[in-house]
Amino acid sequence: MNVLLFGATGMIGQGVLRECLLDDRVDSVLAVVRRPLGFSHPKLRELVHRDFTDFSSVAGEFADIDACFFCLGVSSAGLSAEEYRRITYDYTLAAARALPARPGLTFTYVSGEGTDSTERGRSAWARVKGRTENDLLAMPFHTYVFRPGYIHPLHGARSRTPLYRRLYAASSWLYPLLRRVAPKYVTTTEALGRAMLAVAERGGTGEHVLHSPEINGAAADRRP
Ligand SMILES: NC(=O)c1ccc[n+]([C@@H]2O[C@H](COP(=O)([O-])OP(=O)(O)OC[C@H]3O[C@@H](n4cnc5c(N)ncnc54)[C@H](OP(=O)(O)O)[C@@H]3O)[C@@H](O)[C@H]2O)c1
């Protein structure tokens, strides 16, 4: 499997990249980044790109991919509505539109718990995520949407968002408790990576919108 990865420098993307590089069934990973990853691996190639609203100049690089894992994204906190929509919706759809028309190609999008599929609710961020999901699900490839709640970072994955880094540092002791009392809302960066690989092999079958329990279930089927 040839994987195209967006957001490889982020917390989820680091976890997904790790699982891809460890998995024998992954032949190559092409990471599209705006700054270098800072490490190399025989299966990994990085493509530093500037304009995430337009991938037409590099779309030729995507010709052989089988699966796109889109882990790029931001919290809406502190951003204008326009900036949040640009990063969440415009960047994602620009990447999706640059993909080749290959049979069986899958696109997995990291959305979030609380996303508003009706696009009519009161929460602006949830409407933007909902529109992003809906437009991806209508694209001519197999889209899988992941809606995780709390994500526990494993194997050194670190958030790019300073506030989240502080929150994770202060709350990591809570994870075992959360896993016991609210297992439906908890997953890990490792499970997200393994679940992405699992759904990429489903070829369009199964659930297309996965919350934490389905993510954890798919990950369990995909232990290396
Ligand atoms: N963390 C959670 O608990 C959680 C839970 C549910 C859903 N999610 C969703 O998962 C997604 C990723 O979360 P995360 O925790 O991995 O975030 P993160 O650690 O902050 O990483 C964000 C990633 O997006 C990239 N990015 C952000 N702004 C960009 C821009 N303007 N241009 C190009 N790249 C940009 C970052 O690249 P740089 O390194 O270049 O900045 C980085 O790779 C988000 O959509 C988030 O809503 C997260």
Q: Which tens digit of pLDDT belongs to each residue from 17-35?
A: 999 999 999 999 999 999 9
Residue 203 gets which letter from DSSP? T
| Residue 216 Cβ contacting ligand 1 at under 6 Å | no
| Residue 34 Cβ contacting ligand 1 at under 6 Å | yes
Residue 135 · residue 171 · CB < 8 Å = no
Q: Phi, psi at residue 209, to the nearest 5°?
A: -120, 115
Asked whether residue 148 carries a pLDDT value surpassing 70, the answer given is yes
Three-state SS string over 47-103 comes to: EECCCCCCCCCCHHHHCCCCEEEECCCCCCCCCCHHHHHHHHHHHHHHHHHCCCCCC
Query: Strand 142-147 and strand 44-48: pairing?
Result: unpaired
Ligand 1 mutation pick, 5, 9, 82, 165, max ligand atoms within 8 A of CB? 9
Topology of domain 2-220, CATH: Rossmann fold (3.40.50)
**Among the listed residues 211, 12, 11, the one whose alpha carbon sits nearest the alpha carbon of residue 117:** 211
pLDDT 10s digits, 46-71 = 999 999 999 999 999 999 999 999 99
Q: Is 158 exposed, middle or buried (0-12, 13-18, 19+ CB in 10 A)?
A: middle
Least confident of 71-85, 165-179, 197-211: 165-179
Mean pLDDT of the chain: 96
% the chain with pLDDT above 70: 99
Q: How much distance in Å is there from the Cα of 6 to the middle of ligand 1? A: 9
Average pLDDT over residues 74-84: 96
Any residues with CB less than 8 A from the CB of 136 and at least 6 apart, and which? 92, 93, 96, 107, 109, 143, 145
Residue 103 · residue 63 · CB < 8 Å = no
Q: How much distance in Å is there from the Cα of 12 to the middle of ligand 1? A: 7
Query: Strand 186-188 and strand 209-211: pairing?
Result: unpaired
Confidence bin at 134 (pLDDT 50/70/90): very high
Report the distance separating Cα 101 and Cα 141, nearest Å.
8
**Among the listed residues 56, 20, 57, the one whose alpha carbon sits nearest the alpha carbon of residue 37:** 20
Asked whether residue 131 carries a pLDDT value surpassing 70, the answer given is yes
Q: How much distance in Å is there from the Cα of 161 to the middle of ligand 1? A: 8
- Domains of the chain, residue spans: 2-220
**Confidence at residue 136, expressed as pLDDT on a 0 to 100 scale:** 98
**Confidence at residue 221, expressed as pLDDT on a 0 to 100 scale:** 81
Q: How much distance in Å is there from the Cα of 110 to the middle of ligand 1? A: 9
Asked whether residue 223 carries a pLDDT value surpassing 90, the answer given is no
Average pLDDT over residues 33-49: 97
**Confidence at residue 171, expressed as pLDDT on a 0 to 100 scale:** 86
**Confidence at residue 73, expressed as pLDDT on a 0 to 100 scale:** 98
Q: Whose CA is nearest to atom 42 of ligand 1?
A: 10
Q: How much distance in Å is there from the Cα of 71 to the middle of ligand 1? A: 6
Confidence bin at 183 (pLDDT 50/70/90): confident
**Confidence at residue 224, expressed as pLDDT on a 0 to 100 scale:** 63
Q: How much distance in Å is there from the Cα of 75 to the middle of ligand 1? A: 7
| Residue 89 Cβ contacting ligand 1 at under 6 Å | no
Beta bridge partners of 45: 30
